[in-house]
Amino acid sequence: MCGIVGYIGPRDAYPIVIEGLKRLEYRGYDSAGIALYDGTDLKVAKTKGKVSELEKCVENEITKTGNLGIGHTRWATHGVPNDVNSHPHVSNSGDLVIIHNGIIENYESLKKELINRGYTFKSDTDTEVLINLIEEVKKKEKVKLGKAVQIALNQVVGAYAIAVFDKNKPEEVVVARLGSPLAVGIGEDEFFIASDASPFIEYTKNAIYLEDEEMAIIRFHKKIKVRKIKNDAEVPANIQELQLNLEQIEKGGYEHFMLKEIHEQPKAIVDTYRGRLLRDEAIIKMAGIEDNMKKFLNANRIIIVACGTSWHAGLVAEYIFEDLARIPVEVEYASEFRYRNPVITENDVLIAISQSGETADTLAAIKMAKSKGAFVFGVCNVVGSSIARESDAGAYTHAGPEIGVASTKAFTTQITVLSLIALRLARAKGTISSSDFRRYLLEMEMIPNKIEKALESDAHIRVVSDIYKDASNFLYLGRGYNFPVALEGALKLKEISYIHAEGYPAAEMKHGPIALIDENMPIVVIATRAEHYDKVVSNIQEIKSRKGKIIGVITEGDTIVRELADHVIEVPDTIEALSPLLTTIPLQLLSYHIAVMLNKNVDQPRNLAKSVTVE
Ligand code: F6R
């Protein structure tokens, strides 16, 4: 939620900050703003809307010069998205300026105190309170900016990644983090600040990812100093080499990031199993599992926590873990789990799934489980993210950057990693025969080619999308391994096309949703050849006799559903446990095409943000 960018060095800050904000727009896009020190004074421009609006606003309002700048793209928490509530926020004296990603929970009491001391506020934001608190501390304690930030942050309850500077000391920027990510790129005599490394990858490969409760004082011509917010103690700066490259974060000829990411899935899955699935040796090797095998084998149960699409991947994992490794699994929404006083013991293994690795509820859930002695295993995409670091062990998904807000390749790579883990554990427990194990490895290796094949239905899916794009509601039905895929298909449609959609286990239809079915209701039924295929066929017949419009996702060559359904979309045959990796593809494309036809902003749907760092 919210993206922050900053630059201090010999170059012009404006283009770096603006381009950086565009790359971080996936984090929030309600409003945007920039503050530049132009050599003599502080200039601020901010506006409701996207970064493109900000560019227009800058043209009309301020000059673009200056070697120091900070910028912000917002996902509103406190205060509606409007010009005044947009960041940056300036202190009452006009000297200090801040950008902030996160929430200051005790801002109301702090605001009251500041009002009593004569401060006034223009916006409804918690951030304006923070910058004035810093100003008050700076004046009262007669300390430098860094110290004032440190003292002020110790009075704050909440989460933040901030960048602050003082127009009277334009050679210095102070940054800090607690609960929201913050990276500092280290160039030659220049520094970049950003919520993730994407805004500065063409300038430097060296970065420091601040840890929670750390701050840094960045001075032009000097070295960066990292300190603990709590006690001001200096900590060694841990400079890491970035693995990211520019190509990975560009659209590469596709109209939208989402479409690019859908098409990247074959490669992403290969990247995910490379070095882990060793078919010739008939083994699966995953360091995080090997090193902690006892924990998994002695576990009473596995608890999976996640949100949104990652939660759907968790549901798929529940089927495969129980089916193959015979370990009891519970899948929980992180937001419910963390607040419901669950029974957790030292023999529980908690798997946290998160693309961003920053989702606040998932992070809080793992902290809670750890405090109760559970072993925490993270399945994250973003390397070095908070959840990855907070976990006792983990496995990255290696999907590469996912920029479209609607998750696609993150989902299928999460399922890939979780399937590998389930297979590895099944082998260790002896709950799978060696011939079945080999069959799975072979099939997993064939999945990327089969996804390529599934993607060939794109033109046909576009035709189907055109027929149903104006529907007001959709139902998605699936059974077994494909029930979570039905949930995921419905979520994809909702979030990017704003059409109401619900996913249901196919057999549950007759316990309620069947009442919704009439000739205007499109129903996507995942009806691939599987154990309960006949039962799904019966469900299709029930829909048909109520005149519902059936879009069947079927196994290549299937004739039974083809005859019953209004439309079918074929996917290649595979082992049932791996079928979600294929059946998901047409549902992603269906939602994509409908959203494009409805002229929606596919990559940045309204009200959403890519990484939900607030609860
Ligand atoms: C849906 C979507 C969200 C995320 C959810 C969790 O397309 O992207 O539902 O899956 O916000 O995010 P992560 O996986 O980053 O924890």
3-state secondary structure string across 53-95: HHHHHHHHHCCCCCCEEEEEEECCCCCCCCCCCCCCEECCCCC
Confidence band, pLDDT 50/70/90 cuts, at residue 208: very high
**Residue 146 has which token pair?**
């860094």
Residue 384 pLDDT greater than 90, yes or no? no
Tokens linked to 143: 């300390």
Mean pLDDT, residues 466-476: 97
> Is 273 a residue whose pLDDT tops 80?
yes
Task: Round to whole Å and give the CA distance between 535 and 509.
Answer: 12
Size of the chain, expressed as the number of residues it contains = 615
What is the predicted pLDDT for the residue at 179? 84
CB-neighbour burial class of residue 575 (10 A; exposed 0-12, middle 13-18, buried 19+): middle
Token couple for 493? 């449609």
pLDDT surpassing 90 at residue 596: yes
Checking if the pLDDT of 486 tops 90, the result is yes
Q: Is the pLDDT of residue 218 over 80?
A: yes
User: Which DSSP string do the residues of 100-147 spell out, in sequence order?
Assistant: EEEEETTHHHHHHHHHHTT---SSS-HHHHHHHHHHHHHHHHT--HHH
Cis bond before residue 88 (omega within 30° of 0): yes
- 307 belongs to the catalytic site: no
Pocket test for ligand 1, best of 257, 356, 493, 494 (most atoms within 8 A of CB): 356
Distance from chain centroid for Cα 379: 12
3-state secondary structure 244-280: CCHHHHCCCCCCCHHHHHHHCHHHHHHHHHCCCEECC
610 is catalytic: yes
Residue 146 reports pLDDT greater than 90: yes
> Which mutation among 316, 356, 407, 615 tests ligand 1's pocket best, with the greatest number of atoms within 8 A of CB?
407
For 133, phi then psi, to 5°, come to: -65, -45
Least confident of 70-84, 114-128, 419-433: 70-84
3-state secondary structure 379-415: EECCCCCHHHHHCCEEEECCCCCCCCCCCCHHHHHHH
- What is the CA(272)–ligand 1 centre distance, in A? 19
Per-residue pLDDT at 400 exceeds 80? yes
How many other CB atoms are found less than 10 A from the CB of residue 204?
18
Looking at residue 451, its pLDDT comes to 98
CA pair distance 566, 544, nearest whole angstrom: 9
| 103: number of Cβ within 10 Å | 22
- Mean pLDDT throughout 437-465? 98
Of 186, 161, 198, 190, whose CA–CA distance to 67 is shortest? Answer: 190
Report whether pLDDT(314) > 90: yes
What pTM did the predictor assign? 0.85
pLDDT digits (tens, 9 = 90+) for 321-357: 999 999 999 999 999 998 999 999 999 999 999 999 9
Please tell me the predicted confidence (pLDDT) of residue 55: 95
Q: How far is the CA of 132 from the centre of ligand 1 (A)?
A: 34
> Quick one: pLDDT at residue 541?
94
CA 126–ligand 1 middle distance (angstroms): 25
